[in-house]
Chains A and B, each alone.
Chain A
Amino acid sequence: MRRAGLALVTLVVVVALGAPWLAPNPPDRSFAQSLYAPPTIVHVFDGGPRAPFIYQQRLVSRLERRFEADVSRPVALRWFTGGRLVSVADDEGPLLLLGADALGRDIFARLLYGARASLTLAVVATFAAIAIGALIGGIAGYAGGLIDETLSRLTEFVLVLPTMYVALALRAALPLVLPPGTVFVMLAAIFALLGWPIVARGVRAIVASERERDYVAAGHALGAGPWRMLVRHLLPSTIGYVAVQATLLLPAFILAEATLSYVGLGFPDTVPTWGTMLQDAANVSLIGNAPWMLAPAAAIFIVVLGVNLAVQGRGRAPVQLEL
């Protein structure tokens, strides 16, 4: 189970890293003749088995979204050409493995590039949340007294807030249209701001109990300063706990991005992320004719499932309630 989970997660990471090589088309290139085109079917059988090939799709009616395969001329796929794993020549394509969206962009390519954006954001936000959480939890647990009381109350307060609403309110308060880089930093900051209390609570408990142990007293006796004690000795003892928390935060952040972008408060539509791609799925009657537009939902499922499987292998079912 655990191995399967790790394999899934690794697969997604590899796909994200290899996106420029794996995607047959650039993610932002729009094929004007292929708006809403269905997936290009790769054939391997033509009277007898042969190397994979496609038929070029000719546009018949844009409004009716009708395309006709040009069966007179099979187009062989090119492998390892032009820095891409698989592609077709410009005048013979396009090769759209998961069809095209409203602007004629390759959904498959966007899915791969989307993995980069969505995963990077989630990883950055997770690290930020852990850093803040460990620091606040560590200080609270180590200092005790009034500091502990104040920080614990704060942690508790942020913890009970429904994350989605707070993220929504914070995002909506900022200018709605911003450059993608700014959006990235901003979303990571918002997520970290919401994710840290979960980490802080556990870290505080561990640090508070570790503090009572002999080696801490010994360290003090040897003249180690409080910061040094905290950072060098106490926080490292929480690594196991923090690692588990990270695996819970990561899928939650992937989802938060997807939700915010889905409702139009995340990345601008020009940036391929799983959330911005899901916006197309909002038009449900369209999806009936084009179920492949749900591909980003499947991608999210795979990542979350992978993480859950990987964590389950540790013998404890994670309790994942936030988001």
Chain B
Amino acid sequence: MTAYFARRLLFALVLVLVVSSAALLLTRLAPGDVTAQLGPFAAPEEVASARARLDLDRSPLAQWVLWLARAGRFDFGDSFLYNRPVRELVARAAGNTAILAVVALAAATALGIPLGIVSGSRSGPAASLIRAASLVCVSMPPLLTSLLFVFVAATTRWLPAGGMTSVEALDGRWSTWLADVALHLPLPALALALPIAATFERLQAQSIAEALQQPFVTAAAARGVPPREIVVRHAWSVSLGPICGVYGIAIGTLLSGSFVVEFVAAWPGLGRLTYEALRARDIYLVAGCAATGGLMLAVGMMIGDLLLAAADPRVRERPAG
């Protein structure tokens, strides 16, 4: 068990290192650099001093080594675009993305699992309806759902069509702020959650249908245990394994999906920041975003592993891999 997680931790470290270094070098080797942001008629001295400040006048390898040495001291450089430390920018953006992702995952679970239990254990109009809805949702990736929701919000004005906070919440206490964020959250969170909820529903339905075929369930039914209790008490706990396994994978999906949602719904998260950094070739910001993304991914995967281990004892004994 300990060895397993030690290996997982090592994998996480390698992931963060490789991903951020690759992002740094990729940005450096790409044509053009961030000093173009100074505008068409910036003085050559101004451009040169900006390039020097960002180590862009050194060789890519030297720049990478310097960056790595500083990153070891948790100094990730400054963003040229925002003129402030990368760490500060990335921490805030990652927090916003985490809020969105966690809420979306919770919503997907709350929607997908119960509906999956119903559609997997029963037949009839309700189950068919759930299956149909889930089919539609699984065919509506976040790009489409977010566009649709933003369009609906903008035309009906039921919810804010974008952003994370409105200006009115500025002076209030944190509870006002929270309420304001809560008002902005449903749209992007749901856009992100729906396709995942549909996947959860399908997995849960499939896995509960399989569990209901198991001999011990048939035996319980023969003992006269009521069907509802069979489903909830016996079959569900057995069917949990595959669901827990999918959480680890869902993290990657959440991150990918949140990029699109953040972009369409103007959520100030990591996806938007990464996009802007990449577009402007803001080198340290790109690297910082990549490192943070890698870290979030690794943490998510470890949580997924823990869940899996908790649900399925076999995993704990399994050698790493």
Contacts and interface: CB of A to CB of B under 8 A. Distances in A.
A172 B139 contact: no
Contacts of B15: 157, 160
A157 B15 CA distance: 8
B104 interface: no
Contact of B140 (A162, A164, A175, A301): A301
B253 A321 contact: yes
A213 interface: no
B147 interface: yes
Contact of A288 (B147, B151, B202, B206): B151
Interface in A142-168: 152, 157, 160-165, 168
A321 B199 contact: yes
A321 B250 contact: yes
A287 interface: yes
Given A161-B19, A297-B148, A322 B139 contact: no
B256 A165 contact: yes
Given A284-B161, A321-B246, A322-B256, A175 B147 contact: no
B11 to A, nearest CB: 8
Contacts of A172: 27, 30, 278-279, 281
A163 B256 CA distance: 6
Contacts of B138: 308, 320
Contacts of A262: 143, 260, 263
Which of the listed residues A173, A281, A304, A322 has the most CB atoms from chain B within 10 Å of its own CB?
A173
Given A162-B293, A323-B256, A259 B26 contact: no
B290 interface: yes
Given A163-B256, A168-B274, A287-B151, A255 B143 contact: yes
Interface string A266-295: 000000000000100110110110010010
A170 B22 CA distance: 10
B292 to A, nearest CB: 11
Contacts of B256: 162-165, 322-323
A289 to B, nearest CB: 10
A284 B250 contact: no
A165 B202 contact: no
Contact of A168 (B206, B249, B275): B275
Contact of B252 (A157, A161, A294): A161
A322 B135 contact: no
Counting chain B residues whose Cβ lies within 8 A of the other chain, the interface size class is 35 or more
Interface in B160-210: 161, 196, 199, 202-203, 205-206
B26 A169 contact: yes
A209 interface: no
B259 A164 contact: yes
A317 B301 CA distance: 24
Interface in B38-78: none
A217 interface: no
Nearest to B254: A162
B142 to A, nearest CB: 9
Given A160-B297, A284-B161, A263 B151 contact: no
A164 B260 contact: yes
A50 interface: no
Interface string B266-284: 0000010011001101000
A300 interface: yes
Interface residues of A, number: 45
A263 B147 CA distance: 13
Nearest to A152: B321
B85 interface: no
Nearest to B248: A160
A80 B19 CA distance: 56
B151 A317 contact: no
Contact of B139 (A174, A175, A294, A305): A305
Interface string B111-144: 0000000000000000000000001101111011
A297 B27 contact: no
A278 B151 CA distance: 13
A175 B278 contact: no
B150 interface: yes
Which of the listed residues B150, B161, B252, B297 has the most CB atoms from chain A within 10 Å of its own CB?
B252
Contacts of B27: 172-173
Given A165-B256, A317-B206, A323-B256, A281 B23 contact: no
A71 interface: no
B1 interface: no
Nearest to B202: A317
A258 interface: yes
A275 B275 CA distance: 17
Given A294-B147, A297-B143, A301-B140, 15 more contacts: A157-B18, A160-B297, A161-B19, A162-B253, A163-B252, A164-B256, A164-B259, A164-B260, A169-B23, A169-B290, A258-B143, A262-B143, A263-B263, A297-B144, A309-B135
Closest 3 CB pairs of A and B: A164-B256, A172-B278, A305-B139
26 contacts: A164-B255, A164-B256, A164-B257, A164-B259, A165-B256, A165-B293, A168-B275, A168-B278, A169-B23, A169-B286, A173-B27, A255-B143, A258-B143, A259-B260, A262-B143, A278-B143, A284-B151, A284-B154, A285-B154, A294-B147, A308-B135, A312-B135, A317-B203, A319-B202, A319-B246, A321-B246
